[in-house]
Amino acid sequence: MDNELVIVLDFGGQYNQLIARRVRECNVYCEVHPYTLGIEKIKEMKPKGIIFTGGPDSVYGEKSPRCGKEVLELGIPVLGICYGAQLMAYLLGGQVKTAPVSEFGKTEVKIDISSDLFHNVSTDIIAWMSHTDYIAEVPEGFRICASTPVCPVAAMEYKEKRFYATQFHPEVMHTQEGTKILSNFVYNVCGCNGSWKMSSFVEDAIKSLREKAGKGKVLCALSGGVDSSVAAVLLSKAVGKQLTCVFADHGLLRKNEGDEVEAVFGPEGPYDLNFIRVNCQERFYEKLKGITEPEQKRRIIGEEFIRVFEEEAKKIGAVDFLVQGTIYPDVIESGLGKSAVIKSHHNVGGLPDCVDFKEIIEPLRMLFKDEVRKAGIELGIPENLVFRQPFPGPGLGIRIIGEVTAEKCHIVQEADAIYREEIAKAGLDRDLGQYFAALTNMRSVGVMGDGRTYDYAVVLRAVNTSDFMTAEPARIPWEVLEKAASRIVNEVKGVNRVLYDCTGKPPATIEFE
Ligand code: XMP
């Protein structure tokens, strides 16, 4: 790769990976690093630009995250965002104050378009603000280049030094022309030429995975979902037959899924790798017996998965590395950033404390789902696999509310297969972000023929989303829902009612547990 790297220094904000992703969308490679990265490391990486992120702290706080002023003495352009803007002001002798009231949400901002940061941006934009502290006085040499009625310094610049700062968040969707602002920074200010593509990521990842693995044996935890499939193919290109993919069929998969995965990755499939299918349904059902608490279910499934992989690794002998297809939203929602734990995605927060591998490799850890799909296409993975809707690691275990049993798994598998079939028949499968059937733990009274029934209610869900961090309930045509519902109650024993979930994320999540 050439030296076109922009680094994001993470001061604890929630949108940090989003900044990196927006920069990558401008075809400039971008990575997020902790603010403690250190000056020597930064020099070694030779970034063309540095972005300071937002964060929940105040620059005057005793324990607030701060990098040294020397980062601003490297001659590298810097963009500070929100807390990052305040930090820049603070480090360079400006003044930051606490406002009596926070400025939060969409705000009208007056832009001075003579600034290089705002080239071709409108003079009035709506931008996303989320702050209490504000820059009251810019440091020497700076000038104000955007403001709001309550925030005197919505943006500032020191053109000669190539320092820019915005109090608002250009990376979030709610900021109009935000991507243009970031692209102005990387092109006009940092002088990047935008030659990076997903193919470069794939090439670099293959090269660095090959170096990391050396001659060591690698085991890939394959679920057949998009993420672990992309990780597996990446690794197989990097280390060939040093890789063994272990596919644990835990009995919580969709109907026929075990066989479908085997058809792609097994000996009959197109890839040159070792493939082991472990049929461990009973073992998982046994462990989940009587367990109803969602996080406990996730932990049990996560732990049992690892134990299966460890056992397989022992049989293979001398396996150093475990590969997982963890992607960025898994990391953030498991609370490994600074944000609250939403749920422990089993390949991240759901891991047991002690894992019998020398190292866990997560080559997709910084990518979003759609970026993973792009990488999959670059790798030549068939489109039907790449555009497969996501399926969570804990599988139907988190689509069955309450205790998991083989019988309930069977019900939800059958209902889900019918629903998916009807969605595909209606030609909606590519338009929806994710859709599936789940089993409520509720039984209710119905009537079938002349008899009373007391059976389960199945719930259908379909959402539109691009990043799976937020989602809208999809407006599935009524005829499609009606057809699916009628088929489900008629064809699936044990179900007498079908519901549709109309909630978005937030406040709900996509999965039920
Ligand atoms: P939620 O339910 O958190 O889901 O809104 C967001 C996306 O992540 C998937 N998901 C998971 N994927 N392991 C995974 O690999 C997990 O534990 C897990 N939990 C949720 C979910 O299907 C959706 O696409």
Task: Please identify which of the residues 131, 169, 345, 346 carries the catalytic annotation.
Answer: 169
Q: What mean pLDDT value characterizes the chain?
A: 92
Q: Residue 338 pLDDT > 80, yes or no?
A: no
Q: Higher model confidence: residue 353 or residue 317?
A: 317
Q: How far apart are CA 112 and CA 157, in angstroms?
A: 11
Q: Whose CA is closest to atom 10 on ligand 1?
A: 392
User: Higher confidence at residue 437 or residue 367?
Assistant: 437
Q: 3-state DSSP call for residue 204?
A: helix
Task: Find the 1 Cα to ligand 1 centroid distance in Å.
Answer: 32
Amino acid at 465: T
pLDDT of residue 341: 55
**CA 375 – ligand 1 centroid, Å:** 20
Catalytic residue among 26, 30, 67, 82: 82
Q: Which atom of ligand 1 is nearest to the CA of 298?
A: 17
Please tell me the distance between residue 90's alpha carbon and the centre of ligand 1 in angstroms. 39
Helices marked H in 116-224:
178-183, 198-213
Total count of residues recorded for the chain: 513
> 33 an active-site residue?
no
For the chain, give the percent of residues with pLDDT over 70: 94
CA of 194 to the centre of ligand 1 (A): 32
Which of ligand 1's atoms lies nearest the C-alpha of 347? 13
With 50 as the cut, is the pLDDT of residue 1 above it?
no
Assigned token pair, 409 = 């798994």
The string of DSSP letters for 455-493 reads: EEEEEEEEEE-SSSSSBEE----HHHHHHHHHHHHHHST
Give yes or no for residue 332 having a pLDDT over 80: no
From the CA of 368, how far away is ligand 1's center (Å)? 12
Pocket test residue of 468, 470, 503, 505 for ligand 1, highest count of atoms within 8 A of CB: 468
For the CA of 512, the nearest atom of ligand 1: 2
Q: Is there a contact between 177 and 166 (Cβ–Cβ < 8 Å)?
A: no
Protein residue closest via CA to atom 7 of ligand 1: 468
Tell which atom from ligand 1 comes closest to the C-alpha of 505.
5
User: Whose alpha carbon is nearest atom 22 of ligand 1?
Assistant: 392
Strands 434-448 and 451-464: antiparallel
Mean pLDDT of 144-169: 96
Read off the pLDDT of residues 382-404 as tens digits, 9 standing for 90 and up: 888 898 888 888 999 999 999 99
CA angle 330/315/220 to nearest 5° reads 25
Instruction: Compute the CA torsion angle 324, 327, 330, 336 (nearest 10 deg).
Output: 90
Tell me the average pLDDT across 13-30.
92
Cα-Cα-Cα-Cα dihedral sign, residues 315, 322, 467, 508? positive
Task: Please give the backbone phi and psi of residue 32, each rounded to the nearest 5 degrees, phi first.
Answer: -95, 135
Q: Which atom of ligand 1 is nearest to the CA of 390?
A: 24
Catalytic residue among 171, 177, 333, 422: 171
Atom of ligand 1 nearest to the CA of 225: 15
304 CA to centre of ligand 1 in angstroms: 18
* Distance between Cα 126 and ligand 1 center (Å): 32
Compute, in angstroms, the gap from residue 196 CA to the centroid of ligand 1: 29
How many angstroms separate the CA atoms of 158 and 80, rounded? 12
Q: Tell the burial category of 407 from Cβ atoms under 10 Å away from its Cβ (0-12, 13-18, 19+).
A: exposed
User: Could you tell me if 152 and 137 are in contact, meaning their C-beta atoms sit under 8 angstroms apart?
Assistant: no
Interatomic CA distance for residues 472 and 506, integer angstroms: 9
Question: What residue owns the CA closest to ligand 1's atom 24?
Answer: 390
pLDDT confidence of residue 354: 60
Phi-psi label, residue 378: left if phi above 0, alpha if psi -120 to 50, beta otherwise: alpha
Tell me the C-alpha distance between 235 and 191, whole Å. 34
pLDDT value at 342 more than 80: no
Ligand 1 shell residues, CB under 6 Å: 330, 333, 342-343, 345-347, 390, 392-394, 434, 468, 505, 509-511
Structure tokens of 478? 């009524």
CB-based burial label for 73 (10 Å; 0-12, 13-18, 19+): exposed
Three-class SS state of 103 = strand
Give me the pLDDT at residue 383, please. 86
Q: Answer yes or no: 131 catalytic.
A: no
Phi–psi pair at 286, nearest 5 degrees: -60, -45
Cα–Cα dist 245/252, whole Å: 19
Q: What percent of the chain has pLDDT over 90?
A: 75
**Local confidence band at 17 (pLDDT 50, 70, 90 cut-offs):** confident
Place of tokens 């085997």: 262
Torsion angle (degrees, nearest 10) of CA 56, 159, 117, 13: -10
Asked if pLDDT for residue 13 goes beyond 90, the answer is no
For residue 303, indicate whether it is catalytic: no
Going by alpha carbons, the residue nearest to atom 3 of ligand 1 is 509
Separation CA 253–CA 251 (nearest Å): 6
Given CA atoms 373, 376, 381, 385 in this order, what sign does their dihedral have?
negative
Residue written as tokens 């992607």?
Answer: 327
DSSP H helical ranges for 7-165: 16-25, 39-45, 83-91
pLDDT given at position 339: 46
Alpha helices in 317-443 (DSSP H): 328-333, 369-378, 383-386, 406-425
- Write out pLDDT tens, residues 446-488: 998 889 999 999 999 999 987 787 889 999 999 999 999 999 9
Give me the pLDDT at residue 462, please: 98
